[in-house]
Amino acid sequence: MVLLVLSFSISSLTHAQEAAVRQKLIGSWIYSGLQYSDSLSTVDKTESEKADRMNKGLIITFETDGKYTIWNKQTGKSKPYAKGIAGLTNKGHHLKITGLEGDIDKIDDETLRLSSPDRPLMVFKKYKPDNK
């Protein structure tokens, strides 16, 4: 009986943590850039710089129902690239969407940072039409 109660308590805590992160994700986030660590090799930096250029202007919008859209504004119109349902695992600390996966290094009202082993941090800022 004690094991059942303990298991339920852990499950409830995990669900609450994921719900809190999911709530913070709601809204739009614009790709801001990469933060490099000193341990990144020259080859990895070159690949990352190419990815950085490709990601400029990308916006991810997370909806309250768990759905997301990756899009870019081009000549005043929204152009969606991918849609789906965001996956959160590891007590809400790991995000997985189409073409992007990483540990949530930081999330608050203004900043979302995702990390992956041997890669620079991906930084997103809360998107507001005036912070293009």
Instruction: Dump pLDDT digits (tens) for 96-122.
Output: 998 889 999 999 999 999 998 878 899
Answer yes or no: is 132 within a domain: no
Contact predicate 32/123, CB 8 Å: yes
Q: Which amino acid is at 67?
A: K
Q: What is the CATH number of the domain that holds 11?
A: 2.40.128.280
Give the number of domains in the chain: 1
State the Cα–Cα distance between residues 130 and 123, nearest whole angstrom: 18
Q: What is the pLDDT of residues 49-84, one digit of tens each?
A: 888 888 888 999 999 999 999 998 765 667 788 999
Answer yes or no: is 131 within a domain: no
Mean residue pLDDT across the chain: 82
Contact predicate 96/87, CB 8 Å: yes
State the Cα–Cα distance between residues 1 and 86, nearest whole angstrom: 35
Answer yes or no: is 104 within a domain: yes
Q: According to the model, what pLDDT value does residue 76 have?
A: 62
* pTM for this entry: 0.80
Contact predicate 103/113, CB 8 Å: no
Domain span at 19: 2-126
What's the mean pLDDT in 25-52?
83
